[in-house]
Amino acid sequence: MIRAYQQTDIDQILSIWLDASIKAHNFIEKEFWESKVIDMREIYLPASEIFVFEEDGMIKGFVALWGETLAAIFVSPNEQGKGIGKQLLDKSKEVRKNLNLTVYKENRDSIEFYKKCGFKMIKEQIDVHTGHVEILMVFNS
């Protein structure tokens, strides 16, 4: 079930974010992601509207929206491929008419996922934090 975020969800969400970030972005040192946990906890997540996918009392994924930006969508690595990400993305489309996101060019699986969900590639740019190329994608309902 998808529900609104509660403050007590923070530790599960951060664990999913870190594990899934390391897995999806294996072209970036895991220490980079580990160094961002505090920023996620104290800056990025509190500024976002968050929805979680919960099943049997466990959070298995989440999506964070900041304005019309899909700032984060992550599913626990052992739960990927089960449609959770699609359900979270569908929820995002329910609450926002238009969405934009950036995804690393090396993250081909995610790019294909977003394309299948109706996102269009707009341009490439350099992520100032990592120096890697990222792609700006948009969805318009």
How does pLDDT run across 1-30, given as a tens digit for each residue? Answer: 999 999 999 999 999 999 999 999 999 999
Amino acid of residue 62: F
Query: Could you tell me the CATH number of the domain that includes residue 85?
Result: 3.40.630.30
Kindly report the pTM of this predicted structure.
0.94
In terms of Cβ atoms closer than 10 Å to its own Cβ (0-12, 13-18, 19+), residue 37 is middle
Distance CA 92, CA 35 (A): 28
Percent of the chain whose predicted confidence (pLDDT) is above 90: 99
Specify the number of domains making up the chain. 1
